[in-house]
Copies of this chain bind each other. A is one copy, B any other.
Amino acid sequence: MSELVGNLLVGQSGGPTAVINSSLAGAVNEALNHSCIEEIYGALNGVLGILQEDFIDLAAESQQQIRGLRHTPGAALGTCRYKLKKQQDFDRVIEVFKAHNIRYFLYAGGNDSQDTADKISKLAQQLGWEMRVIGIPKTIDNDLAHTDHCPGYGSVIKHVASTVRQLACDNEGMGQHDLVSILEVMGRSAGWIAAGAALAKRRDHPHDPPHIICLPEVAFDSAKFVEDVQRVLKRETYCLVVVGEGLVDKDGNYVSVSSKTDAFGHGQLGGAGDYLAGLVEAGIPGVKARTAKLGIVQRAAALEASKTDSDEAYMAGAAAVQAAVNGTTDKCVILLRGDADQYSCETALVDLSEIANGVKKLPREWVNEDGISMNFQFHRYALPLIQGEVAVPFENGLPSFAKLSKAPVDKLLPAYEV
């Protein structure tokens, strides 16, 4: 294999996670090891930054800031939900890559983003521009196919389960068999995040909170829900419910959905918690329902990030560079779990197109027959992913996060209108 010499470009796409910057740190640090990589650029705001040549010089960042990325939530390069649609957009991407001699392109994102990376890769091949395109998996939703789990997931469920543990301490002291506490979490099409709340239960304590988990995988039945709550309130002084935003009824319709859609045409969800609170207060006289909605907080919760997750995200970023330098292209890094009893994890590669078009549902057989709790198979799967804590430095009482200085790379082409 002949060595491909040129510049590396890394971009971030879609909704941020607590550890997407850890992947960025892994990619930058690994890239520095390879002399075939001349410059290390970051694309600001994903494909938008590529179209507009908004690149920064990542090699110019201080080591302190790059190290700080390992505990900094959000997408330090910026992301976008802009979807390349027109052929003109794709042509522009290749034109920009040629102008900046981009021979290595790494894109961290979910399936929509890996679909974009795949199309870019195929167009480059078609146009004879030799380059390597590697995807880095990223989503709190854990719904990427092929990978055992996805960087970002371990941290969000560690935060959600920690939150349940803390909420439970409060609710237990407050309830007199009359308090329903509802925590709404993200998860548009799969209940992976809501399911993760189950980790808050201690081993062999099935009655520990969360008492009820409402998953998109289980058709919601409001009468059964109210009965489930009543049963819990007979046994416990309070009932702690975790609900995924994507809850659907037996006809597959969201129980609560706003009329808005995002750039990819997905309906914007929210309000499932308030919906359940309304059911409780209407259905059970004298019982009060309190809601909390973690919203974006859950995917930015670096203070409760999983060290396992952060380390694996870093490893995925580094693995993407290694694969590209080794001549691989049009692949996405995935995580494989070892077979041994002791948890282990290594990276592998699959075709971008395979990632782009798959969705991994929460296995129905991991949900107990009651439809509102998870069985040992889920715990065995998820518990290793939340192990270890990330040390975040505090300054003057508050967490201190990295902030890139973002030295701009000169633009070489005429401006492009998006």
CB within 8 Å of B: which residues of A?
A: 12, 15-16, 45, 48, 72-80, 158, 161-163, 165-174, 176, 181, 183, 199-200, 237, 260, 268, 270, 281, 288, 290-297, 299-304, 306, 383, 386-389, 394, 396-399, 401
CB distance from A30 to the nearest CB of B (A): 22
A170 and B80 contact, CB distance less than 8 A:
no
Q: In the complex, what's the smallest C-beta–C-beta distance from A268 to chain B, in angstroms?
A: 8
CB of A297 within 8 A of CB of B301, answer: no
A173-B12, A176-B45, A292-B294 known; A398+B300 contact, CB < 8 A: no
Inter-chain contacts of A16 with B (CB < 8 A): 169-170, 173-174
- Does A306 lie within 8 Å of B388, measured CB to CB? no
Q: Tell me, in angstroms, the Cα distance from A244 to B162 when the chains sit together.
A: 24
Give chain B residues whose Cβ lies under 8 Å from the Cβ of A75: 170, 173-174
Contacts of A398 in B (CB 8 A): 158, 161-162, 165, 199-200, 386
Which residues on B sit within 8 Å (CB–CB) of A292?
293-297
**Top 8 closest pairs, chain A to chain B, by CB:** A292-B295, A74-B169, A75-B173, A386-B397, A170-B300, A74-B170, A166-B300, A74-B173
CA distance A120 to B148 in the complex (A): 61
CB distance from A162 to the nearest CB of B (A): 6
Q: Which residues of B contact A268 (CB under 8 A)?
A: 288
10 new A-B contacts, CB < 8 A, other than A48-B176, A290-B295, are A73-B166, A75-B173, A76-B169, A78-B173, A80-B176, A169-B300, A200-B398, A292-B297, A306-B397, A388-B397
Choose among B166, B291, B299 the residue that contacts A270 (Cβ–Cβ < 8 A): B291
| Min C-beta distance of A77 to chain B, whole Å | 7
Question: 22 A-B pairs, CB-CB below 8 angstroms?
Answer: A12-B173, A16-B174, A45-B176, A48-B176, A73-B170, A74-B166, A74-B171, A74-B173, A75-B170, A75-B173, A75-B174, A78-B172, A78-B174, A79-B174, A162-B303, A165-B399, A165-B401, A166-B302, A167-B300, A171-B296, A199-B397, A290-B295
